[in-house]
Every structure is written in C-alpha cells, then in structure tokens.
Amino acid sequence: MEDAVVEMDAVKYLNKLNLDNIELTKYLFFTGKGGVGKTTISSFIALNLAENGKKVALVSTDPASNLQDVFQMELSNKLTKYQPIPNLSIANFDPIVAADDYKAQSIEPYEGILPEDVLAEMKEQLSGSCTVEVAAFNEFTNFLSDKTLEQEFDFIIFDTAPTGHTLRMLELPSAWTDYLNTTSNDASCLGQLSGLNENRVKYNSALEKLRNQDDTTMMLVARPTHSSIYEIQRAQQELQQLSISKFKVIINNYIEESHGLISSQMKSEQDKNINHFTEWLNNNHAYYVPYKKQKEEGIENLTNLLNDDNLIENDNLIENDDFIVEDHPQFNKLIDEIENSKVQYLFTMGKGGVGKTTVATQLATALSNKGYRVLLATTDPTKEINVETTSNLNTAYIDEEQALEKYKKEVLATVNDDTPQDDIDYIMEDLKSPCTEEIAFFKAFSDIMENQDDMDYVIVDTAPTGHTLLLLDSSENHHRELKKKSTQTTSNVETLLPKIQNKNLTQMIIVTLAEKTPYLESKRLVEDLNRANIGHNWWVVNQSLVTLNQSDDLFSNKKEDESFWINKIKNESFDNYFVIPYGGLS
C-alpha cells in the first residue's frame, strides 16, 4: 500500500502515517512538547501492533499522561494486561512522585548532621525539572535492562523520552559523586545522581541501547506550529550529538481539508509552518496524522485514528442563532483590571507554544495606546515582536544564549585551579541545565531594568523552553543562589528581587490553552508560584474557539472539550480569567 501524499507549495512529500510500511524497532521513545499527542500516537501504535499479534508493552512517564482515560482502566507503575487485547500490557509511572521519593532518600542521610538552611538549599536544588528527568530515566533503565521483558515483548514503547541534557549528564563521572563532594562547585542541579550510584552500570547499558539504531527509534512528535516543529528539530540535534541516530518525525493534527472559515485559516497557517521546515522534514521522511473530528480518547476512536471515516460536508459561516456561542470575559477587561491595580511588572507564563509572546505584545500595545509608558522585554529567539516602537512603547530583547555564555564565564571563573577535570566537565554540563538558563535570564533581565524607573509598566514574556522552575521557585532562592556565587551578586539583582516578590508590584499572568495538557502544566506552574509566594491573579485562555460567532464542523467536538477545560480554568483562577478568540476571528 502506497503512502498518501499531501502536496504543498514547498513541501514535496509529507506522508500519512501508515503502519503497514513504517519500519519500527523494538524500543520506541516519543518526544516533543507537552500536548502534541505523544500519548495518543504511541497508544495507537501499541494498540495496532497488539491487534496484529505482537506482544507490546506501553509505558508512560508523563506526569500529564491520560493513558487511564484512553484505555479506561486503572493503571500503576507495574505492567498490567489490557484484557480486551491481552497482547498489550500498560504501565503508568509518575516521575514527579518518584522524584519526591528520591529527594527524600538523598537528603535523609544528612538530617540532624547539616544545618537546616543547608538542608533547605539541598531540597531546593533537588526540586528542579532535572531531578524529575532522572527519575523518569531511572524507570526507562529498568525496562531497557530487564532481560525478561526483552524476551517477553516484541515492542516496548515509551510515550516520553529523556532529553539530551539528561543523557549527557548521565555520562559524566562527577555526576555520580557524593552530594557533599559536589556542592563546592556551585552547580545548580547538584547531587541528582548521587543516590543512584548502584544503577550506574545499568544506566551505561541503557545509553548504549539508545544508541543502537537496530534497537531504538526516537519518534519526534509535533503539531503543525512553528514552535512545536522547532522543538523537535532542536531535540534531534541534541540527541545526535550523543550518537543517537535513528529518528522518525510525525506531525500530528494536520488538517487535510478545510470545512469552514476556522479550519481554512488554520490549515493555511499549518502549511506555512510546515513549509518553513521543508528541507529538514524531507530529509527525515516525515509523516503526518490527520486532524480528526472525533475525540481521541477511548479505544474505538483510537483504532480509527488513521481511517478515512471522517467525511464532513463543508460548513460555511452559520449565523449565531444556529449554534451556541459562549460568553466569557474578554481580553480588554484584563487591561482594565491592570489599570485599576498598582502592578508595574507583568510576566506572561505558560508552557511553550501557548502564545506568551503574543499575549505580552497585546498587553504592551493596549497599555501604551492608553498613554502609559511601557517596556516590552522578550526572550523569543525568533524576535518576532510585531509592534512599532513609539514614544510610549519601547522593546528590549534578552538574548538567552548570550546571557547564558556570560553567566557560564562568571561561574567558571570561581572554579579553583586544582579542580579535577571530571568535576569541571560536570560543572560545564550542569551549566546547560534549565535551572541555569533561568538564573542567566534573571540576571540579564535585572541589568535591563537598571534604568527603567520611568516606565509605568514592564511586560516580559518568557523563553519557549518551558523551563521556568528556578525563576519561579522563589525570590529568596534566587537570592541564595546569587549570594553563594558572591562574585556574581549585583546591585541590579538585589534591587529587583524584592519587587518580584511584592504582589502589589508584580503579577505572573498564566497563559494557557483550553486543552488538558496546557491546563495541567499551568496548574503545576501555579503550585510553584504559590510555594514561592509570588502573585498570579490572572489567567489568559489563548486561541479559543468557543467564543467565535462561526461554525466549522471539523471543530464541533473541540468546542465541547474547550468548554470543559475553560470551566476548570474558571474555577482554578477564581473567575479571574480572560479569553482570546482564535486568530483574531470573532
């Protein structure tokens, strides 16, 4: 059976995913941004392989996993047979719970020995995303090194994958040393492996299995958005540097044919985004999974994911009285609330791809149009801020790579001349961690703020990496981190920290989508903000369909889903939420 082909202006071939002619290795790892469909596609492949007589293990290490909803069964971290298709066994492992257990295990030996402030700092350093990554990889390792499982199953499928940073860290000897032997080196993810030293041989074996292209394929999953495809392209480059060489690219939710004004505009955007990556996609023999009208959860819908049973008659603009348009607080009401508050600093926060830069730009434009003096600072590497600088509106770009390089030099300048090379290698890799990126960002931002006292509002978007933990942990944590690196403490940082912690001056605006994964990730973000005692009065739901005065049959079920998640957001935000319609439509 030949691949179905979608022809576009700049993309010669984008092949529809077809399990009859795709080569699959024993181990499949799915990687990509949160919410792109890794669990759906990995579940679909697992289910189809099992239905065709293969013995399959499906393992989730995604804290936002919906495997239990997909298969409608209770799951644990142990493989459980799926009774309707006994060839399929499923496990759902929560790395956040495992990371908490590991943190307690790592700190317990030092309780009653070290001062409380040192123990508190140890806990903070083990609270970052790197520790969660290691906990997840520990689970990967158990499956990759289990000879019994290897013999029992034809395929072992993971709906998440380790990052290049985690894998590089696992290779470094000093990553495995005792916590106290590493604290003097001022690394930000200290001791994350020190409690797992007995697994080191297994880890090395697992790394080799990941590199074996006869055994393992990295399945790079994205939606047809620029940021999502860019993320998997970058992930591939990182993994290739580790000699991991087998990849397949899957673009999920591609609209094959428009059925109304909404899907027509969305398809046009998707084609533009895909065309931007033409050469890379062609080199990787990319596949697509079509956008389906029906919901993806549930076995019947999952089985039919690639079937051409989604025929829809074109549905052009329908008047408002033919369908329900929901009424939600609009974005201009947020501007009014900001005006009526004493807030001066506004940060747009959320997972990558939800539109933080867009929302920050709209905030800055609206406030400057009202006569306020506004500084808009961005970390967006595309620098695509579509605003015109005026007497009221100034823009500043924080180059994260430059900021990180500057910070690295400052840290390395504090390393003693007699420091072993292994330890230096570890520090160098640790300086590539998400936590370190956030320290570097915060320092660069504080430098920009030095001469901005005349601004009425300072609005900042965040980098689309999603790694905001250190910035959000607490102002006090930043203060401790910077005081520890005493040569790097600046009056700019010390001046800015109290302002960020002052809820009357600073608010984090949570930007999300009316979907499960963005909502859950935003909720975790709020939990971190609460722990840090940082203000977050407002939520913005971006790119929503439910308020549109238009109908498009392709998205009727999506509107239903959005209503459910917006209601969740309404409750979570205590009614302090605002909705921006998709694509500026109304």
pLDDT of residue 567: 95
- φ and ψ at residue 349, rounded to 5 degrees: -125, 145
Higher pLDDT, 60 or 156: 156
Block residue for tokens 């570890």: 426
CATH architecture of 5-303: 3-Layer(aba) Sandwich (3.40)
User: Strand 56-60's sheet: what is its strand order?
Assistant: 5-6, 14-16, 287-290, 247-254, 216-222, 27-31, 155-158, 56-60, 88-92, 80-81
Segment 427-437 shows an average pLDDT of: 72
Cβ atoms of 140 and 158 within 8 Å: the answer is yes
Alpha carbons 19 and 27: distance in angstroms, whole number: 16
Q: Is pLDDT at 242 greater than 80 in this prediction?
A: yes
- Range list of H helices, 94-199: 95-107, 116-125, 129-144, 147-152, 164-171, 179-182
In a 13 Å sphere around the CA of 374, the CA atoms on its Cβ side amount to: 27
Could you tell me the pLDDT band of residue 177, with boundaries at 50, 70 and 90? very low
Say if 5-303 and 331-399+436-581 have the same CATH topology: yes
Res 70: pLDDT: 82
Q: What pLDDT band is residue 7 in, cutting at 50, 70 and 90? A: very low
Query: What band does 15 get if pLDDT is binned at 50, 70 and 90?
Result: confident
**Domain locations in the chain?**
5-303, 331-399+436-581
Average pLDDT, the chain: 79
Which of 147-156, 261-270, 374-383, 403-412 shows the highest mean pLDDT? 147-156
Structure confidence at residue 62 (pLDDT): 77
Superfamily for domain range 331-399+436-581: P-loop containing nucleotide triphosphate hydrolases (3.40.50.300)
Using CA atoms of 238, 239, 240, 245 in order, give the dihedral in degrees to the nearest 10. Answer: -160
Q: What average pLDDT does range 310-334 have in this prediction?
A: 61
Please give the model's pTM, rounded to 2 decimal places.
Answer: 0.81
pLDDT in tens, 350-370: 887 888 989 999 999 999 999
Would you state the structure tokens that stand for residue 314, as one six-digit string? 């074109």
- What is the C-alpha separation between 452 and 377, in angstroms, rounded? 12
Residue pLDDT, tens place only, 257-294:
888 888 889 999 999 999 999 999 989 989 999 988 76
State which of 68-72, 165-169, 342-346 shows the largest mean pLDDT. 342-346
Distance, C-alpha 27 to centroid of its chain:
23
Summarised one tens digit per residue, pLDDT across range 42-61 is 999 999 999 999 999 999 88
